[in-house]
């Protein structure tokens, strides 16, 4: 029996589903999850010692490659000085200054330990700042697992959310409006009708949780204009896109100044560090200054801050994003070329170090289009690539991630492997 299977069977006895986050269980693709024994650069080795080229990278954090010597040393050096104090440290000031330097829209920032905490608090802050209850999200966007965000579109014009998870009372989602990504007309109609009741709109500025879906410039411009006009707080949830798609994040690519931004993943370099920040007048409402409460035992802990600072230094090296973006674009192009050769219908897209591929004739622009892709063929392709030693996200509704450690040769090796995999799934 493979060690992966043995560990999975053992794990399921003591951990629900054998995993500590649902997507890791291979539920959509079937088969046995690969238990990572160790990772370095672009690779990880599973419990059976098999090597994989990793295009998940911990769902985004590993942008400089796994176990980068600078990041590991920074964490080791921090660890010998103590792991957590529950008291302020110099490093927290330094990384807050760094984030504010990199993101002009962020005048003040608060560190937390997960993206869920960051978005949950950003929404509470927007509600506290505006005195309004209603929030808006978009179908197919994921912002972590806080109750008011676990909603699916309701029926009817103003699609107030229905809980998408067990254990979430309807009362907890009745103030959450779910609109369609990239639907400018619905957005305008909604704001015309109830814009002055809306506390905030939270957006994945480049969606990565219904596969990669880019917004139209018209959509992001309309969203910024309408929120400004109606006094609603615009929250750019850049937990995934932050320092992933560009040094200036998605807001830099869009030329949009959001009121609040949430960060995670890359900003912590793989350690538990996330953040929310933005306009000083809004951030001034958070405790201990204001009445909006938020707290965290491990917020800003020295090891996460050390990993984050080391990572933020590495991504600012000259040419980092040009190289990363070119390699990612080459991967997307190569996948499309190989699929065409095999007669398989495939579209691809990429932004910075993030990519998506879709078994459909065009890149989806909405949740409905994303769910219309050929999932069965995706599953077969996923496993064919796993056989080739290439690890893509185990879900058709996730984006892929390239690190700076993925060399041109590795990208070409992946494209060649995809050619063989497409041939297996054609027809
Ligand atoms: P965490 O609580 O998982 O740190 O962050 C939640 C979150 C918030 N906002 C966005 C845009 C996110 O993508 C996420 C988490 N992303 C998923 C990837 N689809 C994490 C992977 C998982 O759930 O295991």
pLDDT tens-digit series, residues 216-231: 999 999 999 999 999 9
Distance linking the first and last C-alpha atoms of the chain: 32
Ligand 1: which residues within 6 Å by Cβ? 21, 23, 59, 114-116, 119, 142-144, 204, 208-209, 237, 239-240, 264, 274, 398
Below-70 pLDDT ranges, the chain: 154-159
Per CATH, domain 69-314 is 3.40.630.30:
no
Q: Separation of 82 CA from ligand 1 center, angstroms?
A: 28
d(CA 159, CA 170): 13
Q: Which atom of ligand 1 is nearest to the CA of 209?
A: 19
Q: In what order do the strands lie in the sheet with 390-391?
A: 36-40, 43-46, 51-54, 390-391
Residues 325, 338: contact at Cβ < 8 Å? no
Look at ligand 1, atom 8, and give the residue with the nearest C-alpha: 143
Distances in whole angstroms, Cα of residue 410 to Cα of each of 122, 162, 183, 367 = 39, 44, 38, 31
Q: Separation of 190 CA from ligand 1 center, angstroms?
A: 27
Look at ligand 1, atom 13, and give the residue with the nearest C-alpha: 240
Q: Separation of 143 CA from ligand 1 center, angstroms?
A: 6
Which residue among 116, 236, 244 has the greatest number of ligand 1 atoms within 8 angstroms of its CB, and so is best to mutate?
116
Look at ligand 1, atom 10, and give the residue with the nearest C-alpha: 143
Q: Which atom of ligand 1 is nearest to the CA of 241?
A: 11
Q: Which atom of ligand 1 is nearest to the CA of 398?
A: 19
Residues tagged active-site: 142, 237, 265
Look at ligand 1, atom 5, and give the residue with the nearest C-alpha: 115
Look at ligand 1, atom 15, and give the residue with the nearest C-alpha: 144
* pLDDT at position 427: 79
d(CA 226, CA 188): 7
Q: Which atom of ligand 1 is nearest to the CA of 399?
A: 19
Q: What angle in degrees, to the nearest 10, is found between the helix axes of 69-79 and 302-314?
A: 160
Q: Burial of 100 by CB count in 10 Å (0-12 exposed, 13-18 middle, 19+ buried)?
A: middle
Task: Provide the 10 A C-beta neighbour count for residue 317.
Answer: 11
Which residue among 111, 116, 121, 144 has the greatest number of ligand 1 atoms within 8 angstroms of its CB, and so is best to mutate?
144
Q: Separation of 364 CA from ligand 1 center, angstroms?
A: 21
Which residue among 17, 59, 260, 395 has the greatest number of ligand 1 atoms within 8 angstroms of its CB, and so is best to mutate?
59
Domain boundaries, the chain: 3-63+319-425, 69-314
* pLDDT at position 155: 61
Q: Separation of 264 CA from ligand 1 center, angstroms?
A: 8
Q: Separation of 115 CA from ligand 1 center, angstroms?
A: 6
Look at ligand 1, atom 24, and give the residue with the nearest C-alpha: 21
Residue found under tokens 């907890």: 172
Q: Separation of 338 CA from ligand 1 center, angstroms?
A: 30
Q: Burial of 298 by CB count in 10 Å (0-12 exposed, 13-18 middle, 19+ buried)?
A: middle
Q: Separation of 254 CA from ligand 1 center, angstroms?
A: 22
Q: Which atom of ligand 1 is nearest to the CA of 117?
A: 2
d(CA 123, CA 140): 18
> Which CATH code for domain 3-63+319-425?
3.90.1150.10
Look at ligand 1, atom 18, and give the residue with the nearest C-alpha: 59
* pLDDT at position 158: 58
Identify the helix (H) or strand (E) that includes residue 135: strand 134-138
């Amino acid at each position: 029996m493979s060690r992966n299977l043995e560990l999975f069977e053992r794990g399921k006895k003591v951990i629900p589903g054998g995993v500590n986050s649902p997507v890791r269980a291979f539920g959509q693709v079937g088969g046995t999850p690969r238990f990572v024994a160790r990772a370095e650069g672009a690779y990880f080795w599973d419990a059976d010692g098999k090597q994989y080229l990793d295009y998940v990278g911990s769902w985004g954090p590993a942008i400089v490659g796994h176990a980068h010597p600078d990041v590991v040393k920074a964490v080791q050096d921090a660890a010998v000085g103590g792991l957590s104090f529950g008291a302020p440290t110099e490093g927290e000031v330094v990384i807050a200054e760094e984030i504010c330097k990199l993101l002009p829209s962020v005048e003040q920032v608060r560190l937390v330990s997960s993206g869920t905490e960051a978005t949950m608090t950003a929404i509470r802050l927007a509600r506290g700042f505006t005195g309004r209850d209603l929030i808006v999200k978009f179908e197919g966007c994921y912002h972590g697992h806080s109750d008011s965000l676990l909603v699916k579109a309701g029926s009817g014009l103003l699609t107030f959310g229905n809980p998408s998870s067990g254990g979430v009372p309807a009362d907890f989602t009745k103030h959450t409006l779910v609109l369609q990504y990239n639907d400018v007309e619905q957005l305008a109609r909604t704001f015309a009708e109830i814009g002055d009741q809306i506390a905030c709109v939270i957006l994945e500025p480049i969606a990565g949780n219904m596969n990669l879906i880019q917004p139209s410039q018209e959509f992001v411009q309309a969203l910024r204009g309408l929120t400004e006009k109606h006094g609603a707080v615009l929250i750019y949830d850049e937990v995934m896109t932050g320092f992933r798609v560009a040094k200036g994040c998605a807001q830099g690519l869009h030329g949009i100044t959001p009121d609040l931004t949430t960060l995670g993943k890359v900003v912590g370099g793989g350690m538990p560090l996330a953040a929310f920040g933005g306009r000083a007048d809004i951030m001034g409402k958070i405790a201990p200054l204001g009445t909006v409460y938020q707290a965290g035992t491990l917020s800003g802990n020295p090891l996460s801050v050390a990993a984050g600072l080391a990572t933020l230094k590495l991504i600012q090296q000259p040419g980092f994003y040009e190289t990363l973006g070119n390699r990612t674009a080459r991967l997307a192009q190569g996948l499309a070329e190989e699929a065409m050769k095999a007669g398989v219908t495939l579209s691809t897209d990429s932004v910075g170090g993030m990519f998506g591929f879709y078994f459909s004739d065009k890149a989806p622009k909405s949740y409905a289009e994303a769910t219309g892709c050929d999932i069965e063929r995706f599953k077969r392709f996923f496993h064919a690539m796993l056989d080739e030693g290439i690890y893509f996200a185990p879900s058709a509704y996730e984006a892929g991630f390239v690190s700076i450690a993925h060399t041109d040769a590795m990208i070409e090796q992946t494209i060649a492997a995809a050619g063989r995999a497409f041939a297996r799934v054609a027809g």
